[in-house]
Structure formats: C-alpha cells, structure tokens
Structure 1
Amino acid sequence: MIDAIDLTRELIRRPSVTPADAGAMDVVEQTLAGLGFACRRMRFGAIENLYARYGTARPNLCFAGHTDVVPVGDAGSWSKDAFAAEVVEGVLIGRGAVDMKSAIAAFAAAAANAIEAGRVKGSLSFLITGDEEGVATHGTKKVVEALQAEGEGIDHCIVGEPTSSETFGDMVKVGRRGSINVDIKVEGVQGHVAYPHRAANPVPVLLKLLTALQTKVLDEGYPEFQPSNLEITKIDVPNTATNVIPGVATARLNIRFNPNHTGASLAAWIAGEAENAVEGFKGFATVTPQISGEAFLTEPGPFTDVVAAAVRDAVGREPELSTTGGTSDARFIRALCPVVELGLVGTTMHQVDERAPVDEIRKLQAVYERLIARYFEAFA
C-alpha cells in the first residue's frame, strides 16, 4: 500500500526544477515497479521521462503527469523551505505540492488499492515527464510520438493538472484552447531625427501592425470555449539615443484560440497583416510564429460521464466540464486518445508557499480510486 502524503513529500524533496530531475523520476519508477508495473525510462535530450504499464490487456487507462516544477523564486519569501515538504496545521507546503507531485502520488496510491482489490480489468499506465514546465519539446510530445510509432494502445487518459477552481472537485478540464506565440521584427533605415527623409522609422509601422492585430475581433466564442484573445506581451526598440531614428523595432504576442482557428491560419493572418503594414515602407517585416498547441475538446460521453461520476461519488459535487485556462500536456496526449484533466485546486501553483491541504490530497486519491473502478466497469 502507498501513503499519498508520504509519497508527495518524498517527491517534493527532489528539487526537480526543469530540466533537472534530481531523482524524482527514480522515486516514481521504484514506486510503480513495486506494484508490478513494467517501467520504461525514455530519455530525450536532457529530459527524463517514464512510461509504466500494469497489465497487457485493453482497455488501457493512462495517468499522465510531470515531476518537474517551476523555480522557487525568492526563497527568502517562503515560510518554509520550498523543498522540505513540511506539513503545517494540515497543509503541505512545497514546490510541486499542487502542480503536480501530489496528483502523481494520489493516482499511484489509488492504483495500488485498485490492484490489491482486483479492479483492474485491463491495464493501468503512467506517462510521466520531466519537461512540462519548460519548453516541452523533449517530454510528453516525444513520448507520445514514440508510443504511436510502436503501436502502444492507450484508450483514455487522465492528466493530474490542478483543475479545480475554487473548491476541490468543482471543475475538470475536457479541452483547452490552442496557443501561438509570434515574434515580429520590423527593419527600416536608421538615421538622424533631423533628417527623417534619409531614414525609415520602423516604429510607426510596427504600431500600425499591432493596432490592426489588436483591434480585430477574432471570434465570439465556440461551443464549450470562450472567445479567442490576442495579447501583446513585449515591444522593444533597441535605441539609447535621443537623436537617432531606430533601424529596428520588435514585438511579441500570444494568441489563445478556440477551434474557430488553427495555429497555421492565425500565423497566415498575421503575415498578411504585416505585408499590408509595410506597403510603401522602405523596409520589411519578419513574422516568426511558434505554435505551442492546437485547440481540442473531448466531447461529452461515456468517458466524461465516468470522470464526473467519480467526483460525485467521492466528494458529492457535480464538476463543471471546462475548457478554460492555459495549455497542458493534454494537447499532445489527445493524439493518442480522449483525455480529461482532473486535479487539486490550483490557486497557489507557481506561487511562493505553494501548498495543498492534506485532506484534499486524500480526497483526490479517493476520486481517482472511484474513477478507476467506474472506468473498468464501463469499458472492460
């Protein structure tokens, strides 16, 4: 048997700030191997990943999560050492307590109980990465590609991200908006401010382009999704002089988009607006997009019903099925199978004194136990 609190504390004590592993993956592997899981370490670049499976039959219910965490920030502002995993008045304090070492521990404990009770009428698996909080290029994305190439069958997946909004169990995520980052560089001709006819100032051109992008209403929303939004995150003109017209101006923006769009369609729109902005200008604009993920939705049906019923069983609450929030590794896993995210209240994730009540971690384990039981009753 596994104690979810003890395992969470053991994981927190491994300071696995991306891309460091600090032994966190060893802890997960040893825990699952002790339950009879066949464990495979899948290292890509500097990133440690793990795929572990109990059983060989279908259906295969997978739990996905990450052992890496964000930096501590100002360590002196923490009330306790960020990696000491101390419990104070029933609250576990530490980096990763919410996001999301507790969920890994809770599902491992739930899996142990399910195996002991003989409820696994197929397979359980874990897909754990050390690259969710970073650039996410050598983590879940690579593991999914490898599993697809091998023909590994995963039927449904639960991601342990902290999805609850205000009260534990009030929300699960059944989809996410897509995300695209775009760097824009406008290059003109540098010159003296007293002789503007000899220069080509890129700043007005960049402002014209950003205004056109910002004022565009992308959409009014999409079923189950909020409207897409474009946010300018950086503007820079590398000019320290007061009498020089700069030769370069740059900007960065991010769009969170619903299924009305694709990353490619938005990149093409921005490139077209850039062409319009530089028309007649003695210079040019360069648009460099990076698509972090496409929008997706796990449609309501038997799988989402199982997840919602598990929450009702354990905490007596009907969860909202939501697509709000940022991106997660679910955007990669959806290529394998339907995916839903379910975890703790996320209000303190990434903050100083990140923390989770011990009783909520145990409630999460209870939800996962009911989910496993209901899943194999419904799909086996």
Structure 2
Amino acid sequence: MEDSRKGKKSAKNAAADKKEKVMWGWVTKDGLLRIPQKRYLELNDTVLTMRNEEKGDIKWEMNIWGCPVECWEKDLKFELKQAEKNLVFKAQSKEDFRHWEKALKRASARHIEVFYTTGKLIGQGAYGKVFLGRNKQTDSDVAIKVVRKGASKKEREYIIREVKILKSIAHPNIIKTHDVFEDTQKIYFVQEYVSGGELFDRIASENHFSEQRAAELMKSMLEGVAYLHKQGIVHRDIKPENVLCCNKEWPLKIKLTDFGLANFAEPNDSQDRNVLVSYVGTKYYAAPEVHNSRPYGPAVDIWSCGVILYITLSGKFPFYGNQHDEFLHRVMRGPVFPDKEWGTISEQTKSIVKRMLAVNPSERPSADNLLADPWFSRKDNPDVQLQDLTHMMSSNRGMLLG
C-alpha cells in the first residue's frame, strides 16, 4: 500500500484479489464560485465515504448499491445521482478515472447484465443452474451459477455462508469466483470457466486408468482440500460432479467447485474437530459419522476423496445397497477389495484407500499427512491398463442427503 501522507495520492486498486471493491484516493469537486476543492473518497464494497482530509472525520457516507453512476472520460468526471442531489467528482488522471469508473459501476450495479452476458445452460444441480457467460469488458468466458433465494431461514443461511466462503478462498485447485451479484430473487456467482467438464464424465469416458494417474488426480484434489481445511472450511459434498477439469487430456488439471453445502470449522492441526452436525452431502460419498448423525469435522472430506479414489481404480462404488440399512452395514464394515477389480493393484495403493476410508474418523489421515506419502509422487507407467471403466457407475450419481 502506498504511503498516502506525501500529499498527492492517486486512486489505486487496494488489492487485485478484491476486484476493485476496495479503493481510495483524492478527487476534486466544485465548491462555491466553482473553485475546485480536494476531497478524499473511500469505497469499501458498496459503501462510499468522503473526507476533507485523508485522516479527517467522515463528512458523509452512503451505500451506492443501485445508485445511478454517469461517467465522462473526456472530462475525467463521474456523477452519483441521488434522489435529493447529484454528486460530481473529477479524477486526477485518466488512469484514476478508469479505476473509479469500474469500481463505482460495479458497486452500484443492481444487474449482472451491466458486466456480463448470459448464454447457454452448461450445468444443473439440486441448488442451482450454471450458464456459460461472457465478460463484456474483457470478452472472456465465465461460468455463471444462478441460485434462487430460498424461502426458509436455513436456505438463506446456506447462501449467505456460501458467499462468505467463496469471497475468502483462492487456490489453484479451487474454482475462482470473480463476482457475486444479487437481485430480489436470485444470487449470481460469476466464476472462472473451465472447458474440461465434470470429473465424473472424464473418468467415465476412460477405457482404462492407472495407479499413477489416480495418484496425480488425487494429489491435486487433496491439495485443494488441505487448503480448505487450513482455512477452517469443510466442503461436505466432494464428489466427481463437484470437481471440474480444466482440460480433457492427461495430465488432468482439476478444480473443486460447488460450495453450497460447505461450512466453517475452526482451523488447527487436528482432524478431530467435530463441530458440524447437519445431515448433508451425497449418499454414496458421505462418511459414516454423517450417516450415523454424529458430530463431524474435516475428516468427512477425506472419506469422500477416498470414495473417488476407489472408483477411479475399480470402476465401482466401495459401498452400495438398495436399502439404507444394507448400505450402512457395508459402510460400517469398511472397504473390501475383490480380486476381480483389485487383483492387479498394488498393496501400497490399497493401503492408501483403506486409510482414507477408515470407519473411525480419528484414524483417517489429514490431507497434509496423505500428501506426504511417497505414493503421491510415484513415477510408474501412466498408461498401464488396470480396469475397463466403460461400465462405471452407469447413471447413478449419488443421491443427496438431507
């Protein structure tokens, strides 16, 4: 951050990762007899404040959400139109003007259409739809997730929490959220667009899978999970449909997405932070403690990753059953490794799967501990055929809980 006490501070984007939602700087406005007067503006999300001096008292503060903004680059001026009066300011330079124009229009915009166009439907889940979009300023593709505001208090709490989580995270293996818009009925999450599709479809399209490829894939996934857990966040719905691929060729680059069921748990070095109780997730990927309605923590994400690893190596779910009691009995028994699917797979690989699918959550390693295992850095032949996966999972994608 620049030292602003030198007398002439230009408007700067306070932090690139806050997308120009936090800005400050000197501008001028016409005073009596049209004599320019210096004023210091600060914009924090949608709240704009004005001072006569940088460290002086706030003269006024206003939420500009929905406030019409007019900008004239030739004069370096921008105008905020209020019901009682209009406020006109002049930037100190063309660069400053462009920063202010972008930030003020973004903060004041009620409609996502100000910045993005919405195209075809590219995905749909239990909690919303995803459309291909276009950034009008950069002409780049984005993904726009549209979630209808829930009528119940619980649904509203989930949406508020998802917005808070998405604004607080940034990792190469987690989908990036550029913007969040809201109107009276819907929330719009503008996220980076990746063209490789869901991991579910990517795995199902493979004719074979190797232990090394499984290790590469799981390493990327666990790196994202480790980051979340260090931030005190539990995803709670990790499954192949919630892992997106940046590409369709190996090595796959993947990103975790869909934080609609995520929640906070205090970060520390222990997996045993069982502070969550909601019965949420997807049946075939949910940990035993969730099914048994016991308090749980980050270890549920390790279980879900273990289910995905089991599937990628064998082409089958580790646990199944038409009746809940039958399914839960198999879950509480722990994973089995039939020779038909696992006969050619190494004991080292089976050991990793067993550890991740330990029925007792306290026995599951943390994501960081798993990543330290040499198995994740193996360098065998990535094209060694293991199992024919063309039959895998058919159309069964899990079943939501709750």
**TM more than 0.5:** no
Name the TM-score class by shorter chain: under 0.3
In the superposition, the TM-score normalised over structure 2's length comes to 0.21
In the superposition, the TM-score normalised over structure 1's length comes to 0.22
Q: Which has the higher contact order (CA 8 A, sep 6+)?
A: 1
Structure of larger gyration radius: 2
